[in-house]
Structure 1
Amino acid sequence: MKTISGLIKCSFFVIAAISIAASCDSGRSSSTLRLVDSLAEDNPDSAYNILYSMTTFDLSSEEDVAYYDMLMSYVLSRLVVNTDSVALKRSITYYADTDNKPMLQRCWLYMGMIRLRQGASPDDVECDLIRAARLIDDVRDSVMAMRIYEHLAMLNMKQHDTINALRYARMLNTISAGIVSNEWRMRGNNAMALAMGLAGRRDSMLTYVAKAEQCIPDSFVPGMNNVYNKIAFMQMHIGHGDMRFAKKMLNVSLYGGSDWRSLNLLADLYLKTGREKDAFSLVNVLMSSDNAKSNVWLYNSLSEYYAAKGQFKEAYIMKCRRDSAFTVVNRLVNANFATDLWQKYDQEVVRRFARRKMTMIVFICFVVITSVLSAFVVSGRRLRKRAAQISALKNDLLQMQIRINKIKEDGDKTVKEKTEALKTIIGEKQAAITELSGKLSVSKDELKDYLSRFEEIEHGLHYLYSVMRNENISQLNKSERESLIECYRVIDMTFVHRIEKLEGSKLTIQEKLFCVLRNMGKDENIIKYMLGLSDEAYRKTRSRALNKLRNDKETIDIADKIK
C-alpha cells in the first residue's frame, strides 16, 4: 500500500511539472530583453536582430511590452533609421503610472536622443533631457547621470550657450572624477575642455585635454573604440575643438582595430585640417567597400566640406548622394523588417496552434490520469478504513474481556474495604472543596478591593479633570481629595510616593494637594482660587509644606522645585 501511495505522489509531481512546462514560457522573454539591453549600446545590429526574432507571444506582461518598446526605439535610432516616438511614449506612460523611475529616466534620455536625430528643436530636446535629469537624485545611477549631463552639455555647446554648457560639463566631470572608470573620466575632461574652448579659456581647455589624454589606457581595451570615436567626433564638430587631440583619439582607436566609423572620422579630420589629398585618397578607398552606412557619413562630410569652401554645387550633389545612400540604408532595414515580420507572424501562428494542441493533450492526459489515480486512492482509503474498523473491534473485545476479569476480581473484595476507600475519597474531595472555598473568599475580597480602588480612581479622574481646567475644588472633602491624589499617583508615582514617605512630620491632605498642584505647574493665583485660600492661608500652607519637605534630605529637591 505504501508503494502505491509513493507512486501516486510521484505521478502527481510529474503531471504538475508537465503542466508548468507546457503553460509557462514567459520567464524567457525577460532574460532575452536584458540580453538585448546589454548589446544595444555597442552592438545595435545584434540587438536589432534579437528584438525582431521575438514575437508578441513572447511578451508575457505589460512590463515586458514597455521594455521591448523602449529598446526597439533606441536600437532603431542607433541604426540611422527615422524612428517615430510612439512606442517610446507608450513606455513612458507605463513607467510613469507604475512609478518605475530608473526606466522612466532612460526613456526620457532616449526620447531626447531620438528627437535630436529627427531634427527637432533644441528646446524640445533639452526639455526631454531635463526631465531625465530631474530623476537623478531619485535613481542615483552614476552612469546614467553622466550620460544625461554629457548630452545636455553637448546640446548647449551647439547652441553656444556657454553658461549652461559649463554647468553641465562640470556636473559630468564631478561625477566622473569619483569613479574608477577611465572611460568616463576621459569623457568628463573632454566635455570640460570643449566647454572651456567655447568660453574662450584656451589655457583651461588645454589643461583638461591633457587630463583626458592621461586617462587613455596604456594597452588595448575592448569596446573603447566607440568612446575614442565619440570624443574625436565632438572635438571635430563642436567649435573651438582641439584637432590634435581628435587625431590622437582616432590613432588610438585605429590601433585597437580599424572599422569604417574610425576611418570616416579620420577622412573628415583630414578635410577639416587641410589635408585634402590624404582625405580624398581615404574616401575613395572607403567608397570602394560599398558600405551604405559608411557612404552616408562620407557624403555628409564632403557636403559640409564643399559648403565651407563656397562650392555649393558640389555640396548639393554630395547632399543628394547622401540622401540616396540614406534611402538605401532605410530600404535595407525596412526590407529586413518586413521579412522578419512575415516570418515572425508565421512562427507565431504555428507556435500558437502547436501550443494549443499540446495544452489540450496535456489537459486530457491530466484528467484521465487524475481520474484513475483518484479511483486508486479512494479504493485504498476504503480498504484501509475497513481494516482499521476490524482492528478496532478486536481491541474493543479484548478490553471488554479484561474489564470482565477485573470486575470478577473486585467482587471478591469485602464491603468494608470498599467503604473505607469511599470515605477516604470523600474526605479528600471535601478538603479540596474547603480549600477552593477559601480561595474563592479571598478572590472576592480582592475583587471588592479592586472595585473600590477603581471607583476611587474614577472619582479622582473627575476631580483631576477639574484641576486640569483650573476649577475651584475647595468644596472637596478629605476622602475626595485623597481620591484626587491617588489618581495623580498614576501619573507621577515617584513624586507622590516621596511626599508621603517623609521622615518626621507628615504632610496634611491640604499640604499634599498644594505640592501636587505646584508640581503640575499651577501658579500662586490659580492655587488660591482652586483651594479657596486667602493670601494668609496660602502663605501658611506653603510655608508648612516647604518646611516639612526640607526637614527630609530626600525631598529637598522637591521643595526647591515647588518653592
Structure 2
Amino acid sequence: MGIMSCFSRKQIVALSFAALAIAVIAIAAISVCCSHHTYPRELVVADSLCETNPDSAEALLHRMPDSVLAAKPDRMYYDLLRIKASNNLYEPQKDSTIFRIVDFFERYGDKERLCQAYYYQGKYYVQHNDAPQALKCFQEALDMSDDNTPLAFKSKIYSQSGTIFLDQNLFDEALAMYRRSFQCDSILGDTVNMAHGLRDMAQIYRHLEKNDSCGILLNQAYTLSKGSDNIFLKRTIVLSLVSSYLAEDKVNEAYRLYSNNLMEVEEMIQSPTYASAVMIYDKLGKSDSVYKYCNKIMSVGTPSAKQLALENLIDYYSVKGDLGKVRLLLKKYKDMSDTVRVMNTSETVMQMHSLYNYNLRERENTRLKFEAKEKSFMFVLVAMALGLLCALMFYQRERGKKNYMRIKFMHEHLEQLYKSSCRQYKVSLDLKEKEIAGLMKK
C-alpha cells in the first residue's frame, strides 16, 4: 500500500485544494514580478537619441516636464539617461548618482535598465582609476545581458573591458575582449567600430612585438576607415600605421602616410603626431623640419614627447655650435627626465596595485562562489532530509491513526458481541430454569 492509500477521501480533497491554492499564488507572484512598468514615451524617445544624437537627447532631457517623472521608476530612468547622454558626449560623471540608480533597479527588477546601470557604474570606476571594480561591473552587465540585449551595447562592454585589461598589461585577456567586441560589430556590419576594433587588436600585437600581425590589422582598419565620414578615426589609424612603419624602419612609407593624412590633426592627437614627424624628419635628415616640430611639441606635447623634442633640440643646437642654448636645454632635459621617471614609476605602481587588487578579488570571488555552492548544496541536502523526515512522520502519524481506528472498531465490535452473547445466555438460562421448574412440578 502506498502513502496515498493511508489518506481518507476527505484528506485527499483537502490536499488537492491546498496544492491548487499554492500554484495560483505562485503564478500570481510570478506575474507581478515579471510585469514591466510602462515608461513615458518622452523617456523612450530620449533613450533612442542617446546613441545617434546625444546633444538632442540631452536637450530633450533638460526640457522634460516634472509631470512625466511622477513615478520613481521614471525618475531613475531619467537619471540613467542623463548619465548615458553625457557619456556619449565624452563628459565624465559629475557625482555618484549611478550608485543610487543601480541600487534602485536591483530592487525594482528591471533587467534591461539594470544592465545599463552596471555598465555606467563600471565607467564611473574607470574614471576613478579602480580597474578591479570597473571589471566587476562590466562582467555583471554581461551576466545580465541576454539574446534581447543589443549587440552594439555588448560590443561597448567588451571593448571597455579590453581597454582595462590592456592598461594592466594583461594582453591575452585584452585581446579576447577586443575580439568579442569585433565579432559583435561584424554581425551588425558597423564598419566604424570594426575599424576601432582592428586598431585596438593591432595595439595588442604591437605590445606583443608581433609586427606582422599588427601591420595586417592596421591596414584592414585603414581600408575600412576610408569609407567612413569619421576623419578623426582615420587619422588615429594612420598615426598607428606610421608608428608601425617607423618601428620596422620603413621611413618612406611612414612619410607618405604622414604627409598625405596628418599635416593637420585634432588637438587630442597633436602630441603623438608631432613626435612621429620628428622621428620621420630625423631619419630623412631634414633638420629644419625636426626643429619646427620639436618647438610645436614644447607647446602642446606630453612629458614623454617633450623629452624626445629636447633630445633633438640639443643635437640641433650642438651642430649649430650654440653652447649656451645647449646648456639651457640640458637643464630642461634633466628636469623633464625626472618628471617622466616619476610618472612612469607612479603608473607602474598603480598598475601593480590594480593588478594585485584584481587578482586578490578574483581569488576572493572564487572562494566565495565555492563556499556559496557548498552552502547551497548543504542547504538542499538538509531541506531534503527535513522534507523526507516530515513526510515519514506524517506517514507514521496517519498510519497510527488508521491502526488506532481499526483497533477501536475491533474493540467496539467485540464489546457488542460480548453484550449480545450475555443477552443470549440470559435468555437461554431463563428458558432452562422455566423448563426445570416445569419438570419439578411434574
Q: Scaled by the length of structure 1, what TM-score is found? A: 0.40
Q: Which has the larger radius of gyration?
A: 1
Q: Scaled by the length of structure 2, what TM-score is found? A: 0.49
